[in-house]
Structure 1
């Protein structure tokens, strides 16, 4: 239906009609659209994503090569965003209406509007070019050592984490401040419970819900934003493979990328909802 021909991609514009027809018959593109889609779908049910129109390689293998790079960056970005955002949001809630609260709110507001590619370029200029502490591009697998792996993924992960830091900090602060105003917290204070116990037992469990729900939205954005980060830092990851496949008109590869992306997003959101149901009691009541 796209009108793209793998035969022209492989043979070039000077290919003869006979050669084009032979390649299209080989790929089954001379069959009706629904028949082609059914063949692809039944292959998907057996774990087969097909073969690339550009080089004839197995798409599952091509995606697997880049997925490890992208997941390394995305997971580290998620961890950094959650840790830094949680610290900032908690401090802002505990010091609400003070200058510390206002400073943190102003900081996360500025961070939230900074594009990831701008942050990435600034980080490269500072830590790779000016200071020479970290490599500016490339990737080292975890099997080669934790140190080289971390050195290559920390900058792109940090560039992607800024938006997560801002959203987690804001949502957590809002949730905690709201929880502090609840009657059960006031009752706990009247009974003489320690501030530490009140915070961890009552306030945090009931105020963390919005911040956790935010992660379900941020994970798909990490996958999309990885395209820009991988270009800046010279990584051959999942996002760059998706971009190259789309530009080359490699339809089976784009289909495979979408299937894997949907599976990751659904799985991650399922995990978030399970954790949310275990941690936040209010979510179990539909509140």
Structure 2
């Protein structure tokens, strides 16, 4: 029997609202390890930036206070074992098993850094538009606290079913779109969102850096039928999931999963080499088409 289960009420909430918070779901040892990895990756990116050595796997922005790391992508190429262990922790397996279903594979695993204002604000947007025939999840694993009123995620529940008029909503309402909910989180929490829900986050007011791991999950069949990525790219993700299942307790997943994914065809290092050599872009998010002129959006008036 799996050691972590998402309740029926939680599943119903996710299906209704488009997001779900799992409190204290990341094991303490993994939280501590990923905080160390996040610090090392940040120092690496900033050091290379100072030396004018640039890499497509990370983005350093020139904030008014100096260069700051905004994101570090393709984490499997830098910490493959830690990524595999994270995907295999009981809560992540429950997300895969109960919210994504058989055929679930990880598409990406990236790390986002949010610094104190001034730093780029995450405007209202909706993630990858798709036909909604299969689940498409974005899972946030919090390495630091994201308290209410300090730039935590804001959602508009129920907006995951189709494209919203983001330009009009932003111009008319700024951050106070009707029905908006602010969703705080703490280090160790896991926040799952439907890729298409309307969401964004205001500036971070407190000092320090907030780090959040983001993992995209989608059934293999959905990737193959969408044509957004190649079959080879998709099959490498299936192999990534096979690596995960090869090191977890068999009780954590149904027996049919072991049969579906099979045994890893190569060791983890060889797989990572292939994945890093074959990078294909994800489905893009949808944003407002023009800059928005609003007194409190995207930067609130008291921070301007």
Structure richer in helix, relative to its length: 1
Which TM class, normalised by the smaller chain length?
A: under 0.3
Structure richer in strand, relative to its length: 2
TM-score by length of 1: 0.25
Which one has the largest radius of gyration? 1
TM-score by length of 2: 0.24
- The structure, 1 or 2, with the larger RCO (C-alpha pairs under 8 Å, 6+ apart) is 2
